[in-house]
Structure 1
């Protein structure tokens, strides 16, 4: 750089002597992790980059150092910004490849990239080209400095102020994201997956409250018939997993020991860099949340965390109660189906197999997970009307007379009459299945002789599942058929008894149906 040129001299970044006794150590804290503040320097003068890096070389704010990235024109800066979307701060010159290159870059950042988080400090050696008053009013910047006025201390103070603002904006964003997760879960609050979403939202909120990193886990203590263990309800960062996982299989051993200790002692554990929060509902449901990577919490912050968890435990209790109610209803439906099968002396797991066959076939047909689950829950009640059939007819080992068969056929209507009065989705579906699972695709079935797609898809699906399982099983009036004979029958009844599309899907994916058959032998 030629310092004899007055124009270039005005554009230099000059750091004046500081007053003696200036000490910035109170603002410095011990580095808590490897995270950094990304700072973009955009200036066409190499010396500006060098001096800025030299002055801020030992800068640490909130436990994190600075990581610098340089661009020497607005064009280069656009690529740099796209490569570092999480940058906290940009130190920006105005005059570079054009007189207003820096100002155009500001518009690009705020309007095109929609980046409202990054803090913009405008530094200019030619204030006449971009007067402070008009720039502050017309452009979304956070500070304006003439390069000749910037001392080491002023630059340091400016950067601290900008980073503090950026940090607080990110905390607000995380808090908003957590609230959005909770709000999204509200419409389906009583479904298992929504409970996981709710837990995920809670975790996001707590991370933002304590300004921690994203490695966090929410665990619950579960007792099953086989074992009792600690399971992950929600997790983020390095601990994030898909599906239900045991905590001991996911988190590091030292982290699991803290979680286990909290469950055993039933108290929260706080340290300088992590916390293990224990909370328990009135019904005795236990939860532990582990979060690390933050500065020591004040008593007030701890109080806020405890209050937050106490309120959250009430919400979890309501969700657990509704899940318990839903699971009880499912058990009742299965029990009603099994009572029917027991009464007709059809032993084994007929209703379970029909339920699982129906769910799988529904998915293969293209129905949603939600609808497939409805069919799985409703199909066990397909023969519930048999409770109204006399034992002598229901369990007759020989052929039925025409009159007896008419009595047997009445079970479809009886089942429908039993179930039709409910306004619950599963029982509504069960009523339809009970009434239509003996209808045939060609219209020759009963009770109403419905034909083709006029028969509800739930009835068509259950018909295939029920007949397949009935033919593969021993009954009072027959022995089980071998598999080849059953498959030949399905093919022979394609477009006659059964929906041809469903028969093709069943045979195409036969291996998956046979897995279910073996599982519930």
Structure 2
């Protein structure tokens, strides 16, 4: 005598059975199972058999469709269906087989498990169907019991789960590669750290159930003398960027961060992670993220692969920063030497450099071009080294002969730098030559006008005059800011490019702030 689970499900259309109980479980996420059959009784009995079925503590969500056409729409809108229980004969004799072909070829879905259930085995021979239509299981309705259905569903869900893990791992590795290529393009430590937080969050979304919702986290760098600096923060920790110190963290979290630095080992907690990584140059860093589910072993491996490669990006930025700082110091020193000969402050060259970068950024220049201009601008007056002190430091107005002599500093500066193949010095040579040209053609040394003047020359022309007017010189007092902006406005289309004047006037506060942050030394 058979027990209830082994009774045949579809032998008699008149066989009675209890109505399905309502689905009471809300435990997300449920496994999606699509029933495709034109017989209402098949749907009813299937729901009854699977009413309490679960796999790995996840219930099933049964979706009913009654034709291949209807099933296509559902499949296109639900790419995460795990199993399709498919009838062969519906609106057409081979409707089920054509749907299977559609799933595999047109949707390109090779992961969903297809169980063919047919009451007409002669129209769909098992061997032919299994090989030609990529069917995963074949059942005749007359032999299908409740136990066999549950066994078939269990095997199919297990196969779908394994395929999903493989696909998730593949996409995770792809995301690691894509993330690294993006992060290697970043030029500052802060941007790199922010990029890591973003990319790590994205990477972990490829692992099932890795995030409850928005991720919250921060990046910390260990600096000299055991001090620590917040490089980037996201979510509820964004306010940390204002102070930049881990002292603003909750005490328990701060202690966990410090302990991780001491132990030099990553920690994976039930709903958070503290990732420690160091670089070949010795920099030590931590990434903290919360809002995560526990990561499985493979997800942890992905994270470790990610950070093993990220450490190289940190080293690259450290090296580039060291080179850039050295270049900047040399350039500033050269600029200050030129300014010192005319008894002018070295802060002038630093301010002009920052004004120039700001104008370039607001004009739409790329990061690289804006930074190149920032590095080249400080030596715009390098040619003054060759001008006699008596002219440079004359307290009164220059006579015509003296003025002609001082104008030569543009050409002299160009001659000093023109033979360099280094981008910074090539740009500096051009700036030295053109920073006294006027938009209307009334400047010197060559009387260039409008677009004949290189954008770098136009920008430094405005930045230099703006700062010079606000700085005390041997031959004049500093102008009030209101007078300076009025002068700049009056020279739009004359001395200065109109578009640059517009930018300066629209962002006056930013230019004023640069001046406040880089004041001249008190005399």
TM range (shorter): 0.7 to 0.9
2:86 aligned with 1:119: no
Deviation of the 1:155 alpha carbon: 2.2
2:221 aligned with 1:221: yes
Residue pair 1:460, 1:499 contacting (<8 A) in 2 also: yes
Trace 1:114-513 onto structure 2 (pairs within 5 A): 116=109, 118-125=111-118, 126-139=120-133, 142-147=136-141, 148-149=143-144, 150-185=148-183, 188=185, 195-196=192-193, 199=196, 203=200, 207=204, 213-214=210-211, 219-223=219-223, 228-232=228-232, 258-269=256-267, 276-290=274-288, 292-294=292-294, 297=297, 313-314=311-312, 316-347=314-345, 349-513=347-511
TM-score normalised over the length of structure 1: 0.76
Deviations 1:93-147 (A, max 9, x none): 4444444444454555555555x46423233224444444444444455555445
Residue pair 1:119, 1:163 contacting (<8 A) in 2 also: no
Deviations 1:180-208 (A, max 9, x none): 2224455x376658845884698479859
Residue pair 1:42, 1:74 contacting (<8 A) in 2 also: no
Q: Distance in 2 between matches of 1:251 and 1:213?
A: 24
Unpaired segments ≥5 residues, structure 1 = 1-7, 15-33
Secondary structure of 1:36's match? coil
Cα RMSD of the aligned pairs, angstroms, is 4.4
Q: Which residue of 2 aligns with 1:59?
A: 54
Q: Distance in 2 between matches of 1:494 and 1:205?
A: 48
Deviations 1:32-59 (A, max 9, x none): xx75254141324455555555537342
TM-score normalised over the length of structure 2: 0.75
Q: Which residue of 1 aligns with 2:21?
A: none
Residue pair 1:438, 1:446 contacting (<8 A) in 2 also: yes
Deviation of the 1:471 alpha carbon: 1.7
Residue pair 1:341, 1:347 contacting (<8 A) in 2 also: yes
Aligned in 2, Cα 1:172/1:205: closer, same or farther, shift over 3 Å?
A: farther
Q: Distance in 2 between matches of 1:129 and 1:430?
A: 82
Deviation of the 1:421 alpha carbon: 3.6
Residue pair 2:470, 2:478 contacting (<8 A) in 1 also: yes
Deviation of the 1:453 alpha carbon: 0.6
Secondary structure of 1:180's match? helix
**How many residues of Structure 1 are paired with residues of Structure 2 in the alignment?**
487
Aligned in 2, Cα 1:259/1:414: closer, same or farther, shift over 3 Å?
A: same
Q: Distance in 1 between matches of 2:408 and 2:105?
A: 70
Q: Distance in 1 between matches of 2:420 and 2:254?
A: 47
Which one of the candidate residues 19, 34, 41 is aligned to 1:41? 34
Q: Distance in 1 between matches of 2:252 and 2:85?
A: 42
Q: Distance in 2 between matches of 1:452 and 1:198?
A: 40
Deviation of the 1:161 alpha carbon: 1.6
Deviations 1:274-294 (A, max 9, x none): 654433334331123457533
Deviation of the 1:397 alpha carbon: 1.4
Deviation of the 1:478 alpha carbon: 0.8
Q: Distance in 1 between matches of 2:341 and 2:426?
A: 24
Q: Distance in 1 between matches of 2:10 and 2:28?
A: 37
Aligned in 2, Cα 1:170/1:71: closer, same or farther, shift over 3 Å?
A: farther
